[in-house]
A and B are shown apart, each in its own frame.
Chain A
Amino acid sequence: MPEIPDDARELLQHEIQTLRRRFALRRRGFFRLLGNGVLVGWAAAGAAAQESGRFRPSWMRHPLSQNISAWLHIAPSGAVTVYTGKVEVGQNIRTSLAQQVAEELRVPLAAIRMVMGDTRLTPFDMGTFGSRTTPTMGPQLRKAAASARAILIELAARRWQTSASGLVAEEGRIRDPKTGNSVGYGALTRGQRIARAIAADPELTPAERWRVAGHSAPKVDGRLFVTGAHRYPADQVVPGMLIGKVVRPSAFHARLVECDVSGAQAISGARVVRDGDFIGVVAPDQATAVRAAAQVRARWRAPRQIGNRELFDALRRTARNDAGHFEQTSGAAPAVSAGRLKRLQASYEIAYIAHAPLEPRAALAVWRHDHLTVWTGTQRPFGVQQELASAFHLPLKNVRVLMPDTGAAFGGKHTGEAAVEAARLARGAGRPVKLIWTREEEFTWAYFRPAGVIDINAAVDDDGRIAAWEFDNFNSGPAAIGTPYRAQYSRIAFHPCDPPLRQGSYRSLAACANHFARESHMDDLARLAGIDPLEFRLKNIPDPRLRAVFRRAAARFGWARRRRLPGRRGYGLACGFEKGGYVATCAEVEISGQDLRIARVTEAWDSGAVINPNGLRNQIEGAILMGIGGALREAIQFENGRILNPRFSQYRVPRFADLPGIEVVLVDRKNEKSFGAGETPIVGIAPAVANAICDATGMRLRSLPMLVDGRLPATV
């Protein structure tokens, strides 16, 4: 497979260049940073830079701690506490990481408590994104736990004056099979920290011998979620807390012209907090806060801004060749006159879409003198700590960010807007303040998955081989831009553009868009070559693991046996590779008139050794459902700095009615490294459905979303 730019590049493009500049401009003066409520720190810059290894701001130079005590602690009772800066947003790593520690430490899963995403207690972490938890944090914790196990054995050996080699660790105890002696971990460590270095090459348990990892484990703390006892960021409470509300500008990039807050001030219990363009209110309860905010009379001035009708032209027009742009060529372009090549050129368009996590951004901020504590839902607690420290000119150590398990994120909560706003309100009010964004705010003032245009120019030869592959992506991003297909000549380019909306990460980043375009185009090439779309792909894919998931999915789906039933049915497939995960998706659609129903989906998945099969299936099923949203209906409508559909009643996300029959086939490769699965399983569904629609109707849909007002277009 050609060298594929990593997701760091994506972050670099979307979250540094546009946003850091904004930060620098507003740097003067206390609280100026708050601007009009759009604030992003440069922490994202650090995260991306560190991943890409290009430059590292000084505070980012945090290698993973090599001390066992940073990662785990054993109490005298034998209870194990594990510390990680990764966070739980529904992807179930609280469970899968605990399983891996339980495995290596040889303790029951129930003995483990995970402390996650607390800047005071957990080791520094760049953030939970890019499907990095499984391939990096998993091995890190396994090593720490395996090293700890060796030390516990050593301690027991010393205690019994015997050789360590004869002792075994199991169920939280060290046992000597010869003498029958046994001692609990807690009695050995007596609560002391294991201040020893993680071994360079500790003895890790191979996946074939896993007893806790590799098997389905029920979600840790599952009971808290079905009883309503779990406290999400929005549920945090401290005594004396007030409720906050931010008065939003009339449009993006608006500046405050004038403002009359007397009406709001007059409401009993309410207080207005102003700071430059930032206006907020605090009150003892929601109703009063809402009422007071509505009484603020503010006049804003905003520049003219484009709407979605002009979007794709604007992206092409503003394509730049500066940082972030790249182009990769291999082989020589066939001569235009070359032989009997069949050529196909087409453009694909990808709309802006929103993450819309069910829990909107929320934060509770508490000041004690110049110390600030904030509970908030973010994928980057250490990044938000940095944002807060910058915004309030505090040393990092004065800021603590805690991330309770949060109501989803999907790449949409890298930033700390609500945290900064709550902290500003709390500072002004002299009391703790909780701020929960409304759905409209979440749809408007968060950030979006980048819109994009993709041009493909390709050719196949008589033998059904890909003779030429040119791929130009404008703005949507470089993730998974490299093709997993063999091509005699290829040119792949990413063109950064001036985006009209604030954009950033999203589950799988641009892999969705790039796979949609590539896999749609592949189907058309197969048709041009007169070859079955599955055969065509198998013929041109060199990677055996990718071919294997394809075969597995097709077999389970019954691809070879598919046939037109009465009514208009269509069958489509697609495959992909990204971030260590291989995916193949088959879909069957049912069409009547302009109505489309996805009848069933089969997806095969290989991300190496499986850690928690049931959790993994859950992720894959969820990714398919989420992918259906972006494939069929989701699109942000905007005009002149405003979002026109910032509600669930206007922005239709997948519901029960959209649920197809789903079959997941897991390919568990015990001898391969485990990779993450929160993202890549989403990439196959849109092109598989597009190909199925084309199969049924002959209509090639090249825009995401594919439906117009919930229906298939009458013609293309």
Chain B
Amino acid sequence: MRFLVNGKTHEVEVAPGEILLWVLRDKIGLTGTKFGCGEGQCGACTVLLSGRPVRSCQVPAAGAAGQPVTTIEGLARDGRLHPVQAAFLRQEAFQCGYCTSGMILSAAALLQRKPDPDEREIRAALNGHICRCGVYGRIVKAVRSAARARRAGTVK
């Protein structure tokens, strides 16, 4: 099966019942996408499928084949962090960081759709993500700060 991940094509042998999360992690070697629950509840496994955030633990591998997938490893361009990544760093919006990949990808998709979300919209967009370390307040701040930076064009 052919996968298009972060702009590269990967030819992968897929076992029956295989899901996208494990193809990315174990077969393509992109371990930035995390396993947290396997039931679509925590968001740690979030990737962008054709630009839209999906729970990769819920996506059959076959359902993603041939479509562009963006993982956390593909968000920075030429070593320049995406504005959301930069804002997470600035606000130190993590502790253990295990939820961070998924949070950042969902937030990046949100800003793509809605460049100036208010706090309610940010919370609603991210409510499907669990941060067990409880960094929610900082994550909201980081997303707002990323939105500002993005609009100001200070970071592309």
Spell out A's residues near B (CB within 8 Å): 89-92, 218-219, 222-223, 225-232, 234-235, 237, 243, 269, 284-288, 290-291, 356-360, 405-408, 410, 436, 438-439, 614-615, 618-619, 621-626, 647-649, 653-659, 662
Is B56 engaged at the interface, CB distance under 8 Å to the other chain? no
Q: Which residues of B contact A439 (CB under 8 A)?
A: 36-39, 42
Chain-A contact segment, one of B109-117, B122-130, B147-155 = B122-130
Say whether A237 contacts B76, CB under 8 Å.
no
**How far does the alpha carbon of A653 sit from the alpha carbon of B99 in the complex, in Å?**
14
Most chain B CB within a 10 A radius of its CB, from A288, A407, A657: A407
Residues of chain A within 8 A (CB-CB) of B48 are none
Residues of B near any A CB (own CB < 8 A): 15-19, 22, 25-27, 29-39, 41-42, 44, 71-73, 75-76, 81, 85-86, 88-89, 92, 94-101, 104, 122-124, 126-127, 129-140
A626 B18 Cβ-Cβ under 8 A: no
**Could you say which residues of chain B place their CB within 8 Å of the CB of A649?**
39, 41
A407 touches B96 (CB 8 A): yes
CA A358 to CA B75, docked complex, whole Å = 22
| CB within 8 Å for A622 and B71 given contacts A90-B95, A225-B94, A439-B39 | no
A623–B37 contact, CB under 8 A?
no
B92 contacts which of A222, A230, A656 (Cβ < 8 Å)? A222
Minimal Cβ-Cβ distance residue in A for B42:
A648
Not counting A226-B88, A227-B72, a sample of 19 additional A-B residue pairs whose C-beta atoms are within 8 angstroms of each other reads: A91-B95, A219-B92, A226-B85, A227-B75, A228-B30, A228-B71, A228-B101, A229-B73, A237-B29, A287-B19, A291-B17, A357-B98, A359-B34, A407-B34, A622-B95, A625-B134, A625-B137, A648-B39, A659-B137
B33 CB contacts on chain A under 8 angstroms: 228
A96 CB, min distance to chain B CBs, angstroms: 13
CA distance A658 to B34 in the complex (A): 23
Contacts of B130 in A (CB 8 A): 358, 648, 653, 655
The residue of chain A having its C-beta at the shortest distance from the C-beta of B21 within the complex is: A286
CB-CB nearest in chain A for B88: A226
How distant is the Cα of A226 from the Cα of B92 in the complex, in angstroms? Answer: 10
Complex: how many Å from CA A89 to CA B32?
Answer: 17
Q: How far, in whole Å, are A436 and B37 apart by their CA atoms in the complex?
A: 11
The answer on a CB contact under 8 Å between A90 and B97 is yes
Would B22 and A662 count as touching, CB distance under 8 A? no
B37 adjacent to A287 (CB under 8 Å): no
Secondary structure dominating the interface of B: loop
Q: Bound complex: CA of A232 vs CA of B72, how far in Å?
A: 15
Bound-state Cα–Cα, A291 to B17, Å: 8
Query: Least Cβ distance of A653 to chain B in Å?
Result: 6
How far in angstroms is the closest Cβ of chain B from A662?
Answer: 6
A653 to B133, CA, bound (A): 11
Residue of B nearest to A439 (CB): B37
A24 and B134 CA atoms in complex are apart in Å by 39
Q: Would you list 23 pairs from A and B whose C-beta atoms are within 8 A, ordered by A residue?
A: A92-B95, A228-B32, A228-B33, A230-B97, A232-B31, A234-B34, A237-B31, A243-B26, A269-B15, A286-B22, A287-B15, A287-B18, A291-B17, A356-B132, A357-B98, A407-B34, A614-B92, A622-B135, A647-B41, A655-B130, A656-B126, A657-B123, A657-B127
Nearest-neighbor residue (CB-CB) of A218 within chain B: B92
Q: Which residues of A contact B36 (CB under 8 A)?
A: 358-360, 439
A614–B93 alpha-carbon span in the complex (Å): 11
Tell me which residues across on chain A come within 8 A of B137, comparing CB atoms: 621, 625, 659, 662
Alpha-carbon gap, A226 to B80, bound state (A): 12
CB within 8 A of B42: which of A358, A405, A656?
A358
Q: Name the B residues within 8 Å of A229 (CB-CB).
A: 32, 73
Pick from B41, B85, B96, B127: contact of A656, CB under 8 Å? B127
Beta-carbon contact of B100 and A225 below 8 Å: yes
* B117 CB → nearest A CB, Å: 13
The chain A residue sitting closest to B95, CB to CB, is A90
Which among A360, A615, A648 has the greatest number of chain B C-beta atoms within 10 A?
A648
Q: Which 9 A-B pairs have the closest CB atoms?
A: A228-B32, A625-B134, A90-B96, A407-B98, A228-B72, A225-B97, A90-B95, A235-B31, A622-B134
A626–B32 contact, CB under 8 A?
A: no
- B96 x A405 contact (CB < 8 A): yes
Write the chain A residue with the least CB distance to B14. A287
**Chain A residues near B100 (CB-CB < 8 A):** 225-226
Asked if B135 and A621 sit within 8 Å, CB to CB, the answer is yes
Are A226's CB and B26's CB within 8 A? Answer: no
A659 to B124, CA, bound (A): 12
Please give me the residue from chain A that is nearest to B30 by CB atom. Answer: A228
